[in-house]
Amino acid sequence: MKNTALLKLLGSCLAVLLTVGCATSVPLQRAQVDSFRTGDSASDLQVKLGKSTPTLEHSFAYAGAQYLARHFNLQTGMQQSGTVVCTPTCMYIPIMVPVYTQFVIVYGDAGRTVRAYGTLEELSKSPEESVSALMPGLKVAMEKAQAEKKKG
Amino acid sequence: MIRLLAVLCLALLTSGCLTTISHYQLSQFNRGMSPPEVTEKLKKPPLISIPVVADGRSFILDRYFLNNGMGADIYYLAYEGNRLLFWGYVSEFRRHPDATLGRAVDKAIPVPTPAPAR
């Protein structure tokens, strides 16, 4: 009986590890964002991004210029979740789940330099009009890219 | 008794859902949106619309409650010339580089002045 319980527990742990391990993108951390600067070259920023991978990439146009947007999951915290395993006595297994927010890096100058970065909300209400003006076009292109990603 | 409690719970839940907006909705706004465009995104009108004049500029400040997971925080959407200019918590308005926005929100929510000492 004890072996069965242990097996089930190990199975749950494995499922969690696989879920986390097989996540399609590596999230961004606050410490990395702190090192970003507007005007950074794409190659400099790539070094700062390290192993973080985007969840979505797409281009969009504004006022005759082309921009590239790369979306990342920014980890903002951890949340406790859990699962109940019954073997036959039930036990609660707490699991810590990361909490993410969508973070965007906008590259201008044909994708060579960083024009802006932040959450969708931060960029949309940026006091810098040249940044907030990019957002309606970016969001339309983002929705298209998301739909294509779902299809493909 | 149980029915009464059930009705009360339902009423509370419904009213909560009707009056609060959620964090995920905030990224749908764009500067320059008109009030009807914003209402369409939020699927609900503001709790109150407050016309405010600050430094000679006219604003409309729409007040909402933003669900914070445990309760609700006051949240404002500011329009100038019928176009969305800024949205945020009161503290965000107060530290905005356009200081007039901070003064406008202060007029929308008058800061309580302490009672004079006796």
Cβ neighbours for A74, distance < 8 A, ≥ 6 positions apart: A27, A28, A29, A30, A33, A100, A101, A102, A103, A119
Q: Which of A32-36, A64-68, B3-7 is predicted with the least confidence, judged by mean pLDDT?
A: B3-7
A114 or B14, which is more confident: A114
Instruction: Tell me the mean pLDDT in the region A1-13.
Output: 55
Name every chain B residue with its beta carbon within 8 A of the beta carbon of A121. 26-27, 29
pLDDT at A47: 96
Pairwise CA distance, residues A27 & A107, whole Å: 19
CATH topology of domain B17-108: Beta-lactamase Inhibitory Protein; Chain:B, domain 1 (3.30.1450)
Q: Is the residue at A72 inside a domain? A: yes
pLDDT at A144 over 80: yes
Under a CB-based contact definition with an 8 Å cutoff, are residues A29 and A35 in contact? no
pLDDT at A11: 56
Kindly determine whether residue A124 and residue B88, on different chains, have CB atoms separated by under 8 Å.
no
Whether residue B31 lies within 8 A of chain A, CB to CB, comes out as yes
pLDDT at B21 over 70: yes
Kindly determine whether residue A119 and residue B27, on different chains, have CB atoms separated by under 8 Å.
yes
pLDDT at A121 over 70: yes
Instruction: Tell me the mean pLDDT in the region A68-93.
Output: 92
Q: Is the residue at A12 inside a domain? A: no
B89 or B18, which is more confident: B89
For chain B, the domains span 17-108
Domain with A65 in it: 25-82+97-151
Q: Is the residue at A57 inside a domain? A: yes
pLDDT at A18: 46
Name every chain B residue with its beta carbon within 8 A of the beta carbon of A120. 27
Nearest CA in chain B to A127: B97
pLDDT at A22: 47
Q: Is the residue at A9 inside a domain? A: no
Nearest CA in chain A to B23: A121
Alpha helices, H only, B1-118: 2-19, 35-42, 90-94, 99-108
pLDDT at B17 over 80: no
User: ipTM for the complex?
Assistant: 0.74
Strands (E), A87-127: 90-108, 113-119
Under a CB-based contact definition with an 8 Å cutoff, are residues A32 and A76 in contact? no
Instruction: Tell me the mean pLDDT in the region B36-42.
Output: 95
Instruction: Tell me the mean pLDDT in the region A86-108.
Output: 93
Name every chain A residue with its beta carbon within 8 A of the beta carbon of B97. 127
pLDDT at A118: 96
If you search the block for the tokens 């395993």, which residue do you land on? Answer: A85
Select from B31, B86, B100 the residue whose CB has the most chain A CBs within 10 Å, as the one to mutate to test that interface. Answer: B31
Pairwise CA distance, residues B35 & A57, whole Å: 31
